[in-house]
Amino acid sequence: MMRINKFLALCGVGSRRKSEQFVKDGKIKINGTIVTSLSTNVKIGKDIVELEGKVLTLPSSYVYYKLNKPKGYLCTANDTVGRKTIFDLIESPVRLFSVGRLDYDTEGLIILTNDGDLAHKLTHPSKEIEKEYIVRIEGKILESEMAVLRQGVVENGIRMPKAKVNLVEYVGNDAKLSVIIHEGQNRQIRRMFECIGKNIKLLKRIRIGNVRLGGLPRGKYKPLTDYELAQLLN
């Protein structure tokens, strides 16, 4: 037995939240009957589950990749205006979805998998999985400004999550920093620096948990090593 939202996520139709929405919208049938309750259980190997007429099956095996996303790509399967997506960069016989997202102008590490359960765990705030970014900004940065970022900047009266922020080096007139966050709110790092009046010239994610981008070239991908996968699973 398995809850319907977990079953759908493991089948690769999307995140747990997206799977729940499919149920609420009446798009799921079990043995020919529409189900709308999130408490519905699936009998594995017995029930026939359909999404808009397509029979869903659990994958026989899981795949895990890391990708170095370039700027100018979306972290979505489809774009209504035809912009490039990260799925244009990867060839896979199974449907994949990304663990977390990077915005259009941000580059760096993305994990791709058909393991919906692991993806859900890695993106849930309660797991406090670290995401490390390299941020290059115009001009100098004061220790007092980094202290504000570390405590969580206040945006529209709401304090954003704390961050680990350290100066790496100065490159010409630019400051290069390491920023580590846990939650990963929408455009969180860009919003943080906007709040202290800094312009970001480069934003690149280099680590998720213990998985590092390393020397992977832009636009390229490769399977996670056994060690990297073990670190994520644990």
Amino acid letter for position 2: M
Q: Is the pLDDT of residue 58 over 90?
A: no
- Domain of residue 219, CATH code: 3.30.70.580
Task: Identify whether residues 218 and 198 lie together within a single domain.
Answer: no
| Residues 155, 52 share a domain | no
Higher pLDDT, 126 or 40: 40
**Residue 18 banded pLDDT, cuts 50, 70, 90:** confident
What gap in Å lies between CA 211 and CA 189, rounded to an integer?
20
Q: How many residues does the chain have?
A: 234
Structural domain ending residue among the three candidates 30, 56, 82: 56
How many domains is the chain built from? 3
Whole-angstrom distance, CA of residue 55 vs CA of residue 220: 32
Q: What is the pLDDT of residue 205?
A: 97
Residues 122 and 216 in one domain: yes
Instruction: Give residue-wise pLDDT tens across range 112-133.
Output: 998 877 887 787 777 778 999 9
The domain of 225 spans 64-126+211-233
> Is the distance from CB of 207 to CB of 213 less than 8 angstroms?
yes
| Amino acid letter for position 20 | E
Same domain, 186 and 155: yes
Give the active site residues. 103
For residue 191, the one-letter residue type is: R
Q: Give the model's pLDDT for residue 128.
A: 79
- Based on the domain organization, do 203 and 229 belong to the same domain? no
Residue where a domain stops, chosen among 15, 39, 56 = 56
Residues 139 and 169 reside in one and the same domain: yes
Do 198 and 226 have their domain in common?
Answer: no
Residues 16 and 39 in one domain: yes
Looking at the fold, whether 70 and 98 belong to one and the same domain comes out as yes
**Residue 197 shares a structural domain with residue 216:** no
pLDDT at 45: 83
> Which of 14, 31, 56 represents a domain boundary (last residue)?
56
Q: Do residue 92 and residue 188 come from a single domain?
A: no
What H or E segment, with its residue span, contains residue 119? helix 116-123
% of the chain with per-residue pLDDT over 90: 62
pLDDT at 23: 93
| Same structural domain, 161 and 222 | no
Higher pLDDT, 11 or 111: 111
Cα three-residue angle 127-128-134, rounded to 5 degrees = 140
pLDDT (tens digit, 9 = 90+) per residue, 132-167? 999 999 999 999 999 999 999 999 899 999 999 999
More confident residue, 170 or 129: 170
Whichever domain contains 13, its CATH number is 3.10.290.10
- pLDDT tier at 233, thresholds 50, 70, 90: confident
